Amino acid sequence: MLSLPSLEAFAKGAFATAAGVATLGPAPGIALDIPPGLSYRSVSPNYTATQHNLSSKKDVPVPTDFGLQYKDLPLVTEDGVTLRCYLLMQRTEISNSHGPRIEYTDQETDEEFASKRPTILMFHGNGGNHGHRIPLARVFFVKMRCNVLMLSYRGYGHSEGSPSETGEAPLSNAQTALDYVTSHPYLRNSPVIIYGQSIGGAVAIDLASRNPSSKITALILENTFTNLPRLVPQALPLLGPFAFLCHQKWDSVAKIPLIPRSTPILMLSGVLDEVVPREHMQELWQIASRRQGSKLSDMSVISEIGNGKSKFVEFEAGHHNDTCVQQGYWTAVADFMTSLSR
């Protein structure tokens, strides 16, 4: 049985270790959380290609830095771009594991064991690359005994190509990862949960909306936005007049209704988010709740409302890049994961 207090303590330890190995969040500056490739990027005084390269290309930690065995997995998109990914597959026994004991038979192979555990598809935010999110993967892998597939979008980390909405769309990046899992001889039998932070949340929503009949069990979304043009005036006021030039839309408002009502969604929001105002997550929750068929009218109690297995949780001290270390964050994730098996 998973001990939730120990899970929170473990998560804090993982992120403390990360501080000495790699940065979890983007390089300083809000502008770095606006996706590269925007048509008005050149007019931003705070964003340079050098900053992006330093954040997302040069520094790519590997799971062994955090004591995790992994497979370095190259995935090739439909248009021939190679994405660099890390695959962490469960085994019957994990050395030095602080996670729960999962029962298995003597005849059961590691692969068969992995096929019965959930598989997390991780989509990172704009700053950095998949290597910077390994502490998050470690919580899923060690404490929740999940398989984890994490990738760097094209143009990020050591992945080929250049970032753009087309490049980050499910048919080229996220879709490639989902297709790999659903065609894997063992992972195809496991429940698939998509975890997305910031723009990764928009990628997750897009992927789920394009695959309504696929084997996506649930979504976990943290500090993501309604759509990009609406975010620009709030996150970068000086660029507000240029929002109409934003060719990348990432319109999650339009895509959430396309996700089946049977797909549970956990939304995690930092009240003090300085990049994506909390109103974005609140609006997305209202839309998701209507999709679930509930009536949500009082936004003041939004954090207490969960329709079925879907739930919205706010963290009063959470900023854009530290919500995942707030007290109760991983407890909420663990509770949600547990509810999926009921």
Comparing 7-11, 117-121, 281-285, which segment has the lowest mean pLDDT? 7-11
Quote the tokens at residue 165: 């909405």
* Contact (CB, 8 A) for 129 and 56: yes
Residue-level pLDDT at 16: 58
* Contact (CB, 8 A) for 330 and 7: yes
Helix, strand or coil for residue 222? strand
Residue-level pLDDT at 205: 95
Residue-level pLDDT at 5: 46
* Contact (CB, 8 A) for 246 and 39: yes
Per-residue pLDDT tens digits for 5-24: 466 666 666 555 554 443 33
Tell me how far apart the terminal alpha carbons of the chain are, to the nearest angstrom: 15
**Residue 75: DSSP 8-state:** E
Per-residue pLDDT tens digits for 182-209: 999 999 999 999 999 998 999 999 999 9
Q: Is the pLDDT of residue 85 over 70?
A: yes
Residue-level pLDDT at 240: 41
Mean per-residue pLDDT of the chain: 77
Q: Is the pLDDT of residue 316 over 60?
A: yes
* pLDDT, mean of residues 250-265: 92
Q: Is the pLDDT of residue 173 over 70?
A: yes
Per-residue pLDDT tens digits for 219-257: 999 999 998 767 765 655 444 444 444 556 778 999 999
Residue-level pLDDT at 255: 94
The pLDDT-based confidence of 36 (bands split at 50, 70, 90) is: very low
The pLDDT-based confidence of 300 (bands split at 50, 70, 90) is: very low
Contacts of 147 (CB under 8 A, 6+ apart): 87, 88, 89, 90, 114, 117, 118, 119, 120, 141, 187, 190
Q: Provide, rounded to the nearest whole percent, the portion of the chain with pLDDT above 90.
A: 46
Q: Is the pLDDT of residue 264 over 80?
A: yes
Looking only at the bridges linking them, the beta strands covering 147-151 and 82-88 are antiparallel
Closest residue by Cα to residue 131 from 25, 27, 226: 25
Residue-level pLDDT at 223: 96
Q: Is the pLDDT of residue 144 over 80?
A: yes
Residue owning tokens 């900023």 = 319
The pLDDT-based confidence of 103 (bands split at 50, 70, 90) is: confident
* Contact (CB, 8 A) for 305 and 296: yes
Per-residue pLDDT tens digits for 321-332: 999 999 999 999
Contacts of 205 (CB under 8 A, 6+ apart): 196, 219, 221, 224, 252, 255, 256, 259
Residue-level pLDDT at 297: 44
The pLDDT-based confidence of 215 (bands split at 50, 70, 90) is: confident
Domains, the chain: 4-340 (3.40.50.1820)
Residue owning tokens 């974005």 = 280
How far is it, in rounded angstroms, from Cα 231 to Cα 243? 9
Could you tell me the pTM of the whole model?
0.80
Higher pLDDT, 297 or 22: 297
How far is it, in rounded angstroms, from Cα 323 to Cα 228? 21
Residue-level pLDDT at 104: 82
Residues counted in the chain: 342
